[in-house]
Amino acid sequence: MKPAPYIVAQVLGAIGGAGILYLVANGVDGFEIVSGQAGAFATNGFGDLSPGGYSLLAALVIEVVLTAGFLLVILGATRKGLPGGFAPIAIGLALTLIHLISIPVTNTSVNPARSTGPALFVGGENLTQLWLFWLAPIVGGILGGVIYRYVLEPADPEAVAVADTPSAR
């Protein structure tokens, strides 16, 4: 799939998902989205909009580092030559850990589309911080890809997988 249609599909899916959540949440008396409130409707933020009051720099660092780490897990778990079926477990556990670490800091992005959907519903100041939650995952993704490619990627994934099997020992 070409990048542009994939990005558009991701963003439209995130907006659709946020719309569904909005309809469900709006079904209870007292539901209200408050723009400018930390974590409003699961939006991401820094400073006053961070769940824990973390700074712009802290938000940038956590999002870049965790996105890079997530990409390293994805690339490592899905490389050729590994036994099938285990990648989703590693990826799911990594994403769970990422959320446990970063929800207090930014409400966890690591995906620009995920950040865009809720921000569009909240608007205001929450929407003005959206740039960081596009920039940081893109930088983190590039960083993770470069680290994997030039530092961690096996020279011959097939040979590594064969050498690691019990019969090859």
Say what the pLDDT of residue 159 is: 57
pTM summary value: 0.87
Determine the Cα–Cα distance for residues 121 and 13; give it in Å rounded to an integer: 14
Average pLDDT, the chain: 92
Say what the pLDDT of residue 1 is: 64
The string of DSSP codes covering 100-155 is: HHHHHHHS--SSHHHHHHHHHHH-HHHHHTTTHHHHHHHHHHHHHHHHIIIIIS-S
Least confident among 53-57, 80-84, 133-137: 80-84
Say what the pLDDT of residue 80 is: 87
The string of DSSP codes covering 42-76 is: G---SGGGSTT---HHHHHHHHHHHHHHHHHHHHH
Say what the pLDDT of residue 81 is: 85
Q: pLDDT (tens digit, 9 = 90+) per residue, 12-70?
A: 999 999 999 999 999 999 999 989 999 899 999 999 999 999 999 999 999 999 999 99
Say what the pLDDT of residue 140 is: 98
Indicate whether 154 pLDDT > 90: no
Task: Walk me through the domains of the chain, giving residue ranges and CATH numbers.
Answer: 3-168 (1.20.1080.10)
Contacts of 87 (CB under 8 A, 6+ apart): 74, 77, 78
> By three-state DSSP, how is residue 9 classified?
helix
